[in-house]
Structure 1
């Protein structure tokens, strides 16, 4: 098993902070500081430079970090190999998902997976697609579920399905009676846009650009990180927005929102990503296979 001090050192180096490392490890900050002090005394050198609210690795720290990555990786592989001698999958799965997938796809995915493998403990992080992509690349997550087609060469990507994006308006809005709308029709209305880094924002910006409409020409009323806030403000008549069809289904059914197809149609990809050079346990591979197949099935069912 890996030395606990190496685990703490790795967490501090990854987080750039004793406080954030303590939070990630569910330890107190003094306990983290003590572990690092012991490791520095063992090597008789400083491993971190401290200043300006952030810690950085010294030259010796960089060397220790390289070996810590290898040692912790081998420890994880050893534990996984031993656990795989049993028939039933178990253990912690570090999973990251975009906000839309977390709210409207993940409950069904986890329900199905937990029914098959009840001893697995999913530990879920939620953020925009770019954040989840970076956390998979930083080895903080085993699997990512995102809504962008990644171009990172260090990642393996699996195209699992797609979801239609639709315009949403309040029932009394002038566009509410339309069966489809084009980009030119939307430019004049206040737009409740998503935050930078959000996959749907990027797709919508590309949609307007393809129609010859620059971002500066849009009537952006707000940039929001919360889809719930977007839907609430649209329902209250504060503007229009574009969202996943899966995310607006309940609001449309309840009569709070009207969903309208875009012309040409716009779809968000649903992707499963894993790091190429990171050891993958049977649990990680099984989950990646399961969600790829299940997203494809759910995507086809919802489209129908």
Structure 2
């Protein structure tokens, strides 16, 4: 049986007439008669009795109708859901960031976004720096926020903003009185980073590696709050964006110093899979990211 057969059985059962059913199904009466004969031959039984010029379901016809109503209802529900998904009125947005330990920008963004799309759920996924683009390509996540990318062919890169990262030290640190620090200043320091490899860390790629400088020690810590506490305790220095550390500056125990006279700057992008049928809410979420530029960015590297 095919979907057209199920629609035929449902419509004829309701109207009790091929003549009336043809208008709803946009087919001629002869075409409907042919389809009905086709399905009855396939099943090997009659589905309707003719009683006083009306078509009345047989017991076999009632069994087919029961299945038809269930199947067609599921299909129609799926069709409505897909249309809502494509139009962007409902769905799920799976989000990841190249650095995933700080989301204090998300609640205010979600408040604005949910006013427009109250039926869109946002799910946050853990993602290592090295695999975030691959996960977009594999369809595991819908949108990622990154500051490094490889210009892959099947990914759309939506530029969001630029930021600057600063050296974070306790207020009593010798650097706190400097107008800026240079590559050689890191040579005798323990540098706390978010993740390896070093080639993915802005401090190393833009400053230390070009100058041939290696810190005394490199420590990986992936939780922002832990990084801040280690810096406060004098156990290392870190380089992070100014916006991310601002909530921790209230107790006046930390200081921010530019790194080199020109500074370290990064360009952030939202990335999505190239898809002409991308739900509208994804593009609107990207718009909200740009509108929240003052509090958006996700990494201390």
Q: Measure, in 2, the Cα distance between the counterparts of 1:85 and 1:276.
A: 15
Select the structure of larger CA radius of gyration: 2
Q: Measure, in 2, the Cα distance between the counterparts of 1:101 and 1:112.
A: 22
1:227 aligns with 2:224: yes
**Are 2:86 and 2:280, in contact at CA under 8 Å, matched by a contact in 1?**
no
1:253 aligns with 2:250: yes
Q: In the superposition, relative to structure 1, how do residues 178 and 209 fare at CA in structure 2: closer, same or farther (>3 Å)?
A: closer
2:126 alignment counterpart: 126
Q: TM-score, normalised by structure 1?
A: 0.63
Measure how far apart 1:278 and its partner are: 7.4
**Are 1:129 and 1:147, in contact at CA under 8 Å, matched by a contact in 2?**
no
Q: Can you list the C-alpha shifts for 1:174-209, whole angstroms capped at 9, x where unaligned? A: 11122211111122212112211589x521111234
**Are 1:95 and 1:123, in contact at CA under 8 Å, matched by a contact in 2?**
yes
Measure how far apart 1:118 and its partner are: 2.1
Q: TM-score, normalised by structure 2?
A: 0.64
Secondary structure at the aligned position of 2:122 is classed as strand
2:83 alignment counterpart: 82
1:272 alignment counterpart: 270
2:285 alignment counterpart: 287
Q: Measure, in 2, the Cα distance between the counterparts of 1:257 and 1:283.
A: 39
5+ residue gaps, structure 1: 1-76, 300-304
**Are 1:98 and 1:127, in contact at CA under 8 Å, matched by a contact in 2?**
yes
Q: Measure, in 2, the Cα distance between the counterparts of 1:205 and 1:79.
A: 51
Q: In the superposition, relative to structure 1, how do residues 132 and 110 fare at CA in structure 2: closer, same or farther (>3 Å)?
A: farther
| More moved, 172-181 vs 92-101 | 92-101
Q: In the superposition, relative to structure 1, how do residues 125 and 259 fare at CA in structure 2: closer, same or farther (>3 Å)?
A: same
Q: In the superposition, relative to structure 1, how do residues 78 and 285 fare at CA in structure 2: closer, same or farther (>3 Å)?
A: farther
Of the candidates 227, 235, 238, which is equivalent to residue 238 of structure 1?
Answer: 235
Q: Measure, in 2, the Cα distance between the counterparts of 1:262 and 1:149.
A: 23
Q: How does 1:117-156 map to 2 (within 5 A)?
A: 117-156=117-156
Q: In the superposition, relative to structure 1, how do residues 114 and 98 fare at CA in structure 2: closer, same or farther (>3 Å)?
A: farther
1:205 alignment counterpart: 204
Measure how far apart 1:221 and its partner are: 4.1
Q: How many residues were matched structurally?
A: 219
Measure how far apart 1:248 and its partner are: 0.8
1:54 alignment counterpart: none
Q: How does 1:56-71 map to 2 (within 5 A)?
A: none
Q: Can you list the C-alpha shifts for 1:51-70, whole angstroms capped at 9, x where unaligned? A: xxxxxxxxxxxxxxxxxxxx
1:262 aligns with 2:259: yes
Q: In the superposition, relative to structure 1, how do residues 277 and 206 fare at CA in structure 2: closer, same or farther (>3 Å)?
A: same
Q: In the superposition, relative to structure 1, how do residues 257 and 250 fare at CA in structure 2: closer, same or farther (>3 Å)?
A: same
Q: Measure, in 2, the Cα distance between the counterparts of 1:84 and 1:251.
A: 40
1:177 aligns with 2:163: no
Q: Measure, in 1, the Cα distance between the counterparts of 2:281 and 2:79.
A: 14
5+ residue gaps, structure 2: 1-77, 297-301
Q: In the superposition, relative to structure 1, how do residues 181 and 269 fare at CA in structure 2: closer, same or farther (>3 Å)?
A: same
Secondary structure at the aligned position of 2:153 is classed as coil
Q: Give the superposed CA RMSD.
A: 2.9
1:116 alignment counterpart: 116
